[in-house]
Amino acid sequence: MEYYPLLTYCRRRARLLGAAAAWLLSLGAARAQQPADSLLPAIGPRFAAYSQRVPTEKLYLHVDRPSYLSGETMWFNAYTVAAAPHRPLAASKVAYVEVLDRENVPVLQTKIGLVNATGWGSLVLPVSLPSGRYTVRAYTRWMQNGDPELYFHTTVGVVNTHTQPGLPAAGPAAAPDAQFFPEGGHLVQGLLSKVGFKVTDGAGHGVAATGVVLAPNGARVAQFATLRQGLGNFSFVPASAGGGYRAEIKLANRPPISVSLPVVETRGYVLRLEDASPDRLRLVVQATGTGDAEERLFLLAHAGQQVAVAATGQLFEGKAMFSVAKAGLADGVSHFTLFNSRRQPVCERLYFRPPTQLLRLAPQTDKPQYGTREKVSLRLTVPGPANLSVAVYQLDSLSAAGGTDVAPYLWLTSELRGVVENPEYYVTGQGPDRAEAADNLMLTQGWSRFRWADVLAPRPEPLQHLPELNGHVVRGRVVQSATGAPVANVPVYLTVPGRHFQLYNSVSRPDGSIRFELPALHGPTQLIVQPNTERDTLYRVDLLSPFSTRYAQRPAASLQLPPGWAASLRRRHVQSEVQLHFQSKPPVYPIPRPDTVAFYGKPDERYYLDQFTRFKTLEEVMREYVPGVMVRTRKDGFHFLVLDHNARNVLESPLVLLDGMPVFDTNKIMAIDPLKIKQLDVITARYFHGPLVYNGVVSYTTYKGDLGGAAPDPYALLQDYEGLQAQREFYAPRYDTPQAAQNRLPDFRNLLYWNPNASGEELTFYTSDQAGKYRVVVQGLSPNGAAGSGSFDFEVKPPL
């Protein structure tokens, strides 16, 4: 597959957007009646520069099933792509995956490595996890610069069948809610306005409704009805400014509700988008009270931060019109922004064009029906190279609802705020009302990925989070112990101790921040973080969580389990318990082999102490066998000096390491039992390591990698830390021999097959002892950005 590292991606974006900025003038002349003025070069280059500086990255997570029992394993596969046209973007090397409860409290968190824009992992749901709906969200460090709405989100159901009474009682019906969104952003007195609306049941589910709009004097000025998913629109001309307009809404089997409309302004702009013809869009601007009857306006349209339309127009009798060819717009969501003559964004409107570039997947098994423990051959019909993930799970009452689909997410959901119900309909549906329904969605849930104030600012704000281009980055802060104030220019050392240790360093910035790039950190470990405690005992080092602490505002849907599901839940419970107690192979978490070479590579001198006569003290060892290091005794104890043979001088205070941990008090080293030391390495010259320079290195390695019983400095921070998740192997038994097929060990698997990196045209797996209907789901992404999925069902019947 073809991937785009961040630097290449940014350069390509810079060329494209720079070119876009250069031809803004010509576009304006071609698409509008008025020639371009100074407004275009003021906005165009700044938008291009912003898009180059802050390119959009998206992440999609294929989760294996829509529902689980507590104690089961959730498997997932991550794809990272550029904003458009969704080509794999191999920039970030780490993805953060979380499971959140209804209060946005993380119940599970993990980090997975990304290679060539993809990565996979798993999470074991605790047996004690309460029943409910949980949000699975995923993002990269780079994505943390944006709104948390930009993170990937999906909802899964979890049922705890170990609790009593087992089925949570259905709570009271949520109160309905209605929201109204003027097209372009404003209601203006005397100007015709379209208003989109959304009616939900309070849990985010759209409900059918009808209603009327009443003026402050009680007169009816409009009536409306929902079209799909609780969405709809109506138009009217507000006759009076201020508040007072309200909607009286009727819902089936619920009391009517009354909701106030947004405040009507006395002056401003209204933007209306119309379907002028099958080939063109018309954008009509109306303005009143703006102070300039012949004001020049600027219209910019972009998708994926790439300019598609740039045009100028001029008000005439308070009205201007723009005509846009649909063929010139990119697939997916396009943003139209209207600027006034003062370069201020005054209206925004979204338009959705269904994608034409989809990955057509047609998975198919060799038979529609199988027996238990029978081999299944799954054929993947893929029109070209693609990165695919495959899940096969049993269908029951709990898992009947489908999960998230990659194509609707990338092309639609990831560009909108909140939960989009049935996004597949807008992307691949064929209904006669699809275009109108999609436009209602753009009216009600459209939003911008950025603020124009940030784009047009003369000095952009510094980005808080840099992309993890080479691996996981551990962040921290150096503060004064007494006051907590940040401290700058303090060298800090981070050690992953052990026989094959890792050592990193950083110097605190003006805000006290430090960062360490740890590309090889996997699994649980302990970190030792400290400044030079011989000089900096007044400072404290705190490590920061790599996970985002900002959350999207989404309705907290509850899990409702009708009593009719009891039989299905009992069956799932038995399946889970049998697999837990009788699984034939324990989970395997292979951790990549650590690098056995120290950060300094091959030392100038290396001593294996077993090759020499053992002395009782380390002082004797150093004086007798290590000519490259001189031991000196002063008033405060022992000191080391390194003989630099190349420069022919003596280096004082070399860096002294014990299993990779810096030891700044040489007396502590000399107090260690030499029988615990296996190896001694010496660097006899100045050594440049990151931002620091060492006057040589004296590195001791113990037999067990446990610091030889020496305690870390009391000022050092010892913190348990979880590195990148080791990729657990998905295990499924094979019944390819008569002995295996007749094995009496029960096989009650609910998930028959999971492959996050499917390759080849044909895959094979075996059914379990559970009869029923099973669903095959295949999702994938091609090198050119085409995304798609395919699914179908097959049946497993017990033997006669």
Cis bond leading into 519, ω under 30°?
no
Q: Which long-range contacts (CB under 8 A, 24 or more apart) does 210-213 make?
A: 210/249, 210/250, 211/247, 211/248, 211/249, 211/250, 212/247, 212/248, 213/245, 213/246, 213/247, 213/261
Strands in 231-236's sheet, in edge-to-edge order, are: 177-182, 193-200, 231-236
Residue 69 near residue 394, CB atoms below 8 Å: no
Least trusted range by pLDDT, from 44-48, 126-130, 196-200, 622-626: 44-48
Residue 410 corresponds to which amino acid?
A: L
Angle at 208 between CA 203 and CA 214, to 5 degrees: 100
Mean pLDDT of 583-590: 62
Give the chain's mean pLDDT.
Answer: 88
3-state class of 703 per DSSP?
coil
Q: How many helices (H) and strands (E) does the chain have?
A: 11, 49
Give the N- to C-terminal CA distance of the chain in Å, as an integer. Answer: 47
DSSP state of 568: H
Return the domain boundaries, the chain: 177-353, 605-722
Amino acid found at 780: G
Helix, strand and coil content of the chain, in percent to the nearest 5, comes to 15, 40, 45
Give the separation between CA 108 and CA 73, rounded to whole angstroms: 12
Identify the three-state secondary structure at position 645: coil
Q: Where are the alpha helices (DSSP H) in 626-678?
A: 666-670
Lowest pLDDT segment from 97-106, 498-507, 562-571, 738-747: 562-571
**How many residues are given for the chain?**
800
Please name the residues in contact with 692: beta carbons below 8 A apart, sequence gap of 6 or more: 491, 505, 507
Reported confidence tier of residue 30, pLDDT bands at 50, 70, 90:
very low
Give the separation between CA 69 and CA 192, rounded to whole angstroms.
Answer: 53
Please report the beta strands in 56-202, taking only residues with DSSP state E, as ranges in sequence order. Answer: 57-63, 67-69, 73-82, 94-100, 106-113, 118-124, 132-139, 152-159, 177-182, 187-188, 193-200
pLDDT of residue 37: 45
At residue 584 the predicted structure's pLDDT band, cuts being 50, 70 and 90, is low
Q: How far apart are CA 94 and CA 106, in angstroms?
A: 18
The alpha helices in 587-680, defined as continuous H runs, are 618-625, 666-670
> Which tokens go with 758?
């499917």
Q: Is 744 helix (H, G, I), strand (E, B) or coil?
A: coil
Per-residue pLDDT of 165-190, as tens digits, reads: 444 445 555 688 999 999 999 999 99
**Mean of the pLDDT values across residues 134-139?**
96
Percent of the chain topping pLDDT 70: 92
Output the CATH code of domain 605-722: 2.170.130
Tokens of residue 723, six digits: 């590195």
Distance CA 123, CA 113 (A): 14
The answer to whether 662 and 495 are in contact (CB under 8 A) is yes
State residue 172's pLDDT score.
Answer: 55
CATH number of the domain at 177-353, please? 2.60.40.1930
Nearest to 63 by CA among 131, 167, 172, 136: 136
pLDDT for position 533: 81
CB 630 within 8 A of CB 643: yes
Residue 85 three-state SS: coil
Residue with tokens 């409290």: 105
- CA distances 311 to 337, 495, 729, Å, are 11, 57, 55
Determine phi and psi for 622, rounding to 5 degrees.
-65, -40
pLDDT (0 to 100) of residue 795: 96
- At residue 432, the 3 state secondary structure works out as coil
Torsion angle of the four alpha carbons 33, 35, 38, 43, in this order, in degrees rounded to the nearest 10: 50
- Cα–Cα distance for residue pair 372/769, rounded to 1 Å: 5
For position 294, what pLDDT does the model report?
A: 86
Give the separation between CA 248 and CA 257, rounded to whole angstroms: 6
Confidence of residue 606 (pLDDT cuts 50, 70, 90): very high
Token digits for 39? Answer: 């407004």
Report the pLDDT averaged over residues 725-739.
89
Q: What is the pLDDT of residues 33-52, one digit of tens each?
A: 333 444 555 787 888 888 88
Structure tokens at 58: 């998206």
Q: At what angle do helices 6-22 and 24-31 cross, to 10 degrees?
A: 50
> How many angstroms separate the CA atoms of 320 and 731, rounded?
64
24-31 helix and 39-53 helix, angle to the nearest 10 degrees: 130
Lowest mean pLDDT among 216-225, 291-300, 780-789: 291-300
CB 301 within 8 A of CB 271: no
Region 734-745: mean pLDDT is 90
Residue-level pLDDT at 274: 95
Under the banding of pLDDT at 50, 70 and 90, the label for residue 577 is confident
Q: Three-class SS of residue 473?
A: strand
User: How confident is the model over 430-455, as pLDDT tens digits?
Assistant: 888 999 999 999 999 987 777 888 88
- The answer to whether 57 touches 80, Cβ cutoff 8 Å, is yes
Average pLDDT rounded to a whole number, residues 107-131: 94
- Range of weakest confidence among 372-386, 395-409, 585-599, 606-620: 585-599
